[in-house]
Amino acid sequence: SASIFGALLRARAITIWTDVDGVMSADPRRVPEAKVLAEVSYNEAMELAYFGAKVIHPKTMVPAVKAEIPLWIRNSFNPGARGTRIGPPSPFAAEKRTVCGFSTVDNVATINVEGTGMVGVPGVASKLFAALHERSINVNLIAQASSEHSICFVCSAADAKLAKDQVEETFQREIKQGYISKVDVLQPCSIVAIVGDAMSRTPGVSGRFFGALGQAKINVIAVSQGSSERNISAVVDARQSAKALRAAHAEFLLTEQVINVGLVGAGDLGGSAMDMFFERAGVLLERYNVRLQIRGICNSRVMLLSSGSSYLGTDWRQKLAESKTITDLQRFVEHVETDFVPHTLIIDCTRSEAVARAHVAWLEGGLHVLTASQLGVGGDLAHYYDIWRARGETLANYAYEVAVGCSLPIIGTLQNLHGSGDTIKMIEGAISATMTHVMALVSPLEGDPVPFSQACAQAIQNGYAERDPLDDLTGRDAARKLVILAREMGVEMEKHHVQAEAFVPANHRLNPEDVAGSLVEFDAGLAARVVEAAAKGCVLRYVGRVRQDGRATLQLEEVERGAGLARAAGCSFHVAFHTERFAEQPLVIAGPATTGKTGLFADLVRISRDLGARDKGSALQPTVRRRTLSLSSV
Strands of the 231-237 sheet, one edge to the other:
139-144, 150-156, 101-114, 182-195, 231-237, 222-225
The catalytic residue among 481, 495, 536, 616 is 481
Peptide bond into 512 cis (omega under 30): no
Q: Are 240 and 248 a contacting pair, CB within 8 Å?
A: no
Plot region of 406 (φ>0 → left; ψ -120 to 50 → alpha; else → beta): left
Q: Are strands 343-348 and 398-399 parallel, antiparallel or unpaired?
A: unpaired
Active site residue 481: yes
**Per-residue DSSP letters for 305-370?**
E-BTTB---TTHHHHHHH---B--HHHHHHHH--TTSSEEEEEE----HHHHHHHHHHHHTT-EEE
Q: Can you tell me the distance from the alpha carbon of 171 to that of 631, in angstroms, rounded to the nearest whole number?
A: 77
- Contact assessment for residue 489 and residue 423, using Cβ atoms and an 8 Å cutoff: no
φ and ψ at residue 306, rounded to 5 degrees: -70, 160
CA distance 387 to 377: 8
Q: What is d(CA 573, CA 567) in angstroms, rounded to the nearest whole number?
A: 11
DSSP string across 543-597: EEEEETTS-EEEEEEEEETTSTGGG--SSEEEEEEEESTTSSS-EEEEEE---HH
Measured in whole angstroms, how far is the alpha carbon of residue 497 from the centre of its chain? 34
Q: Measure the CA–CA gap between 99 and 230, rounded to whole angstroms.
A: 9
Tell me the residue length of the chain.
634
Q: With b meaning 16 or more CB within 10 Å and e meaning fewer, what string describes 202-212?
A: eeebeebbbeb
Do residues 234 and 192 make contact, with C-beta atoms less than 8 angstroms apart?
yes
Sign of the torsion angle spanned by Cα atoms 238, 239, 242, 247: negative
Asked if 602 and 401 count as a contact pair (C-beta separation under 8 A), the reply is: yes
Angle at 379 between CA 378 and CA 382, to 5 degrees: 115
Which one, of 88, 45, 85, lies nearest residue 66 by Cα? 88
Grouping H, G, I as helix, E, B as strand and the rest as coil, residue 514 is: coil
Residue 151 host element (H or E): strand 150-156
Torsion of CA 121, 123, 124, 125, to 10 degrees: 130
Alpha helices in 17-120 (DSSP H): 42-50, 58-67, 91-96
Residue type at position 312: L
Catalytically annotated residues = 481
